[in-house]
Amino acid sequence: MFIAQYLQSLSTGDLATDAKYIVGLLGVSTLVYIFCLAIYRVWFHPLAKYPGPLLGRITPLYDFYIAYGEKRAHHFAYMHAKYGPVVRFTPDYLSFNSTKAFEDIYGWKANVRKTDSMTSTQSDPETMSTFSEIHRVPALKKRKILQQGFSESALRDAEEYIVDQINIFCRELVNPATEHKKDMSLWLNYLAYDIMGEIVFGKGFNMLTNDKIRYILPLIDDMTFSMLLGGIIPSFHKWGLIDWIFPSISAGRMKFIKESEARVAARIAEGVSNSAGRKDFFYHLMKHRDPETGEPLSKKMLLTEGVLLITAGSDTTSTGLAGALFYLLKHPHCMKRLREELDSVFDTVEEIRMTTKMTKCRYLKACIDESLRMAPPGPGMSPRTVMEGGMMIDGEYFPEGTDVGGAAYTYAYNPENFTDPEVFRPERFLLGEGEPEPDVLRAKGSYWPFGTGVRKCPGMKMALQELYLGIARTVYLFDITSEKPEELKTNFEILDHFNVKKEGPWCSFKLREGRQLPSCRPVSS
């Protein structure tokens, strides 16, 4: 009655010419539509029975707002603590935090595909990378190509260049020409990107020794943050609204893509084997031929895979190393025990390689496992869409079209998976160290820093190789002092930018008595 009276009051003449009436009609209609849509989504939507924040159940703008605040992964953990094991955080998405749900959603037999939000992760809108490919069969096909660069022989070849970059890193830590107090998140980013440059292109970026190239780092962060924001509401990405809302982030993304295009073009110009004759990643990508057509990978595909390897591969290394250093400084007894283990296994720093000696370092592995749990690279949601026929998730049936997933941070801090999840305790992964056996087995069964199933990170072994060598050599060589003790009063803060944005720990380094710095080969350029 009120609406009818209001509309009548607006109409003063011919409806076709009464602009005030038309605008009022559109405004009221829009409000009525929004109100009805909200009522439907809260009480009558197929997912209405699942709890979650009210605004989230009404509009995905709630999730977009949370993501822009850089704590989306943390918010998932908060929502599960408040609402339980299944949370409806947008009108059409459900988040899970149980181990069984994770295995059901991401395991090899899961009847799911990646969601349409993956289009936001593509550096080229027309070309899907191994990561952004939505469907299982083509994703597996692309994955097989990448795995050639992660074979056992490729890992053995790569170790030489990984060690070279770690040696440069170690020398720069005590180089008097560099600042005494170092933000290790920055320095470990330099290391990680230099390693990936060597592995992917056969040439390091030289960030460790050349500050003029370090401008790339914020561009990469712009790239990944725009991927996150664009993926939450795919239409924003499709219509270019992300570019309009966040012009500086979009400009950084485009500049990084152009930088990558130039580097890829230069590498392609060298031919299958690079100028140094090395079998880098592009050697395997360019050598590949489609078994059915005999065609090589297109230039666009080479670009998308190159961008993927740089952005994804380096984050795991830098975040894992930064997290490990932070928690070892926060817990001196852990640092002491790790150093004693390394001193007992290795006689010189040059012995610290991926040999049988490294397998004796049980506590090193536990420290890295616990660091990756507490500061997981890629901490957020990896969404999936249930395919035809539906599927069971943690004992409950979900029909085709339901969007589901779980955030890595949520699983890592779920007390049902890990006892005292806020506490850094490497022993939780070691049998015979005083931890109850059921707790150790449960922790190992809930630990997926590299994912699982079809989409498990193909570069897991190489990332672990970098983490073992990086932490072992640094702790073996140096006395490490915290230069910002107040940051150690809390846990290591990571911000969810799809990848991780981070700061610290702030440290200074002094060569331990009796230790000698490793020699370095000339850097490639």
What is the tens place of the pLDDT at every residue in 135-188?
A: 888 888 888 888 888 888 888 889 999 999 999 999 999 999 888 899 999 999
Mean pLDDT of 88-111: 95
CB atoms < 10 A from the CB of 170, how many? 24
Q: Which residues contact 416 (CB under 8 A, 6 or more apart)?
A: 98, 99
Q: Which residues contact 428 (CB under 8 A, 6 or more apart)?
A: 366, 370, 418, 419, 435, 439, 440, 443
Of all helices (H) and strands (E), which one includes residue 72? Answer: helix 72-83
**Domain boundaries, given as residue ranges, for the chain:** 1-44, 55-379+391-411+424-511
What is the tens place of the pLDDT at every residue in 175-211?
A: 998 888 999 999 999 999 999 999 988 888 999 999 9
170 is in an annotated binding site: no
Burial class (CB in 10 A: 0-12, 13-18, 19+), 83: middle
Q: Helix (H) and strand (E) counts for the chain?
A: 20, 12
Asked whether 489 and 137 are in contact (CB, 8 A), the reply is no
CB atoms < 10 A from the CB of 212, how many? 7
Residue 15's pLDDT is what?
Answer: 47
How many Å apart are CA 492 and CA 331, to the nearest integer? 12
What is the tens place of the pLDDT at every residue in 394-441?
A: 999 999 999 999 999 999 999 999 999 999 999 999 999 889 999 999
- SS3 annotation, 161-185: HHHHHHHHHHHHHCCCCCCCCEEHH
Asked whether 231 and 117 are in contact (CB, 8 A), the reply is yes
